[in-house]
Amino acid sequence: MMRGRTIEGVRLDLAANVLDSLLDAGTIERALMLGWDVRELVGLQRAKPHDHPMRAGLVYSLRPSDSVPSIHDAGCAIAIAGGNVRHIWRRAPLPSDGSICLPWEVRT
């Protein structure tokens, strides 16, 4: 559903590639089993910038070669490709106002 779609300023093709790699690694399944909401994984802000790093889902914080070696109910570790640098991506409560939505719900 993300491929072939266009949202100004958002690289959905890269996000779809990252999503594929997370699916292949079992990361998405583990996140869902831990109670993550789909919007925490692929969600976008309804307002611009849609892929704001503090609001958008995990796939928008990763580059195609990055990996997620560990995932927990509070967040995950992101291993940056090409080095041994990791950073923590923390889950934040989803706002109840509907401002975070799935990519196919964004109106451009």
Which amino acid is present at 95? P
| The model scores a pTM over 0.85 | yes
**Could you read off the pLDDT tens digit of each residue along the chain, which spans 108 residues?**
677 778 888 989 999 999 999 999 999 999 999 999 999 999 999 999 999 988 999 999 998 899 999 999 999 999 998 888 899 999 999 999 999 999 989 986
